[in-house]
Amino acid sequence: MSNLIAEDLSFAYAKDSVLEEVSIDLLPGTLTALVGTNGAGKSTLLRVLQGQIDPHKGKVTVQGQPLKKARNKVALMPQRALLNWGFPITVEGLVALGRVNHSQATCCETEAALQRVGILKLAKKRIDSLSGGQQQRALLAKTLMRPATIFLLDEPCAALDPPAREEFLRIIRQLADSGLTLFVSSHDWGKSLNAYDKVIALDKTVLASGSPKEVQEKLDSISCMGNHCCD
């Protein structure tokens, strides 16, 4: 049974269409990549799936329920660049802010989230002293404080060096293997996509969906047709 199903989603800012009849399904315990260029609609799609904005057409269901009734089961991790990393707060303080309705988090809950992303030893550090990869893992730990089963990650590997990117992919792979559903937007069209169970290529509408190999073959076919290389 799918954990999340989106059917025929369409959305526009003013008269500019951003999403056009987008349909996806996310299964429990899977790691899915959402790839596309800037302006493809990736961030907007994640915001629709988390309920921050309503689609102009289509619907989203979570474990068989309308999104409005199950929004607490879906958590969105924003892009790292949207946060003020100069704010005077410790890593554990940042992570504790992830609690829903700002209820006070226990030390055990905060430590568990930090442990899951491998930065428990950095708990007392200020966030402005972290590397980019460590900041990204702290932000993931903050998101994991929510009582969700579906996690939407917006460009989590952007601007990370290869070792930090590989470590982050290893962590989210483990989270998916533990039973969580992760949907991760990315600009990366390279070999790292092989770490995912499924890839969805987006350019306002879904261009291709399937295994990394299947999606690459489909996109190659589209490119070939567009360039008339098969004539």
Q: Are 158 and 78 in contact (CB under 8 A)?
A: no
Taking the alpha carbons of 139, 143, 145, 150 in that order, is the dihedral positive or negative? negative
Q: How many CA atoms lie within 13 A of 142 on its CB side?
A: 24
Q: For the purposes of burial, counting CB atoms within 10 Å of the CB of 29, is it exposed (0-12), middle (13-18) or buried (19 or more)?
A: middle
Q: Are 136 and 165 in contact (CB under 8 A)?
A: no
Q: Across the chain, what does the average pLDDT equal?
A: 90
Range with lowest mean pLDDT among 20-29, 97-106, 187-196: 97-106
How far is C-alpha 9 from the geometric centre of its chain's CA atoms? 18
Distance CA 3, CA 46 (A): 15
pLDDT cut 70: percent of the chain above it: 94
The predicted model gives 116-122 an average pLDDT of 96
The predicted model gives 4-25 an average pLDDT of 94
Residue length, the chain? 231
The predicted model gives 111-127 an average pLDDT of 95
Task: Supply 75's token pair.
Answer: 């958590």
Task: Supply 132's token pair.
Answer: 């980019």
Distance CA 198, CA 25 (A): 11
Q: Which residue has the higher pLDDT, 187 or 118?
A: 118
The pLDDT-based confidence of 105 (bands split at 50, 70, 90) is low
3-class DSSP state of 222: helix
Distance CA 62, CA 8 (A): 15
Q: Which residue has the higher pLDDT, 195 or 224?
A: 195
pLDDT cut 90: percent of the chain above it: 73
Q: Which residue has the higher pLDDT, 223 or 20?
A: 20
Looking at domain 4-83+147-226, its CATH class is: alpha beta
pLDDT score of 224: 58
Among residues 191, 215, 229, 182, the alpha carbon closest in space to that of 36 is found at: 215
DSSP string, 120-156: GGGTTSBGGGS-HHHHHHHHHHHHHTSS-SEEEESST
pLDDT score of 101: 65
81, pLDDT greater than 90:
no
6, pLDDT greater than 70:
yes
pLDDT score of 91: 95
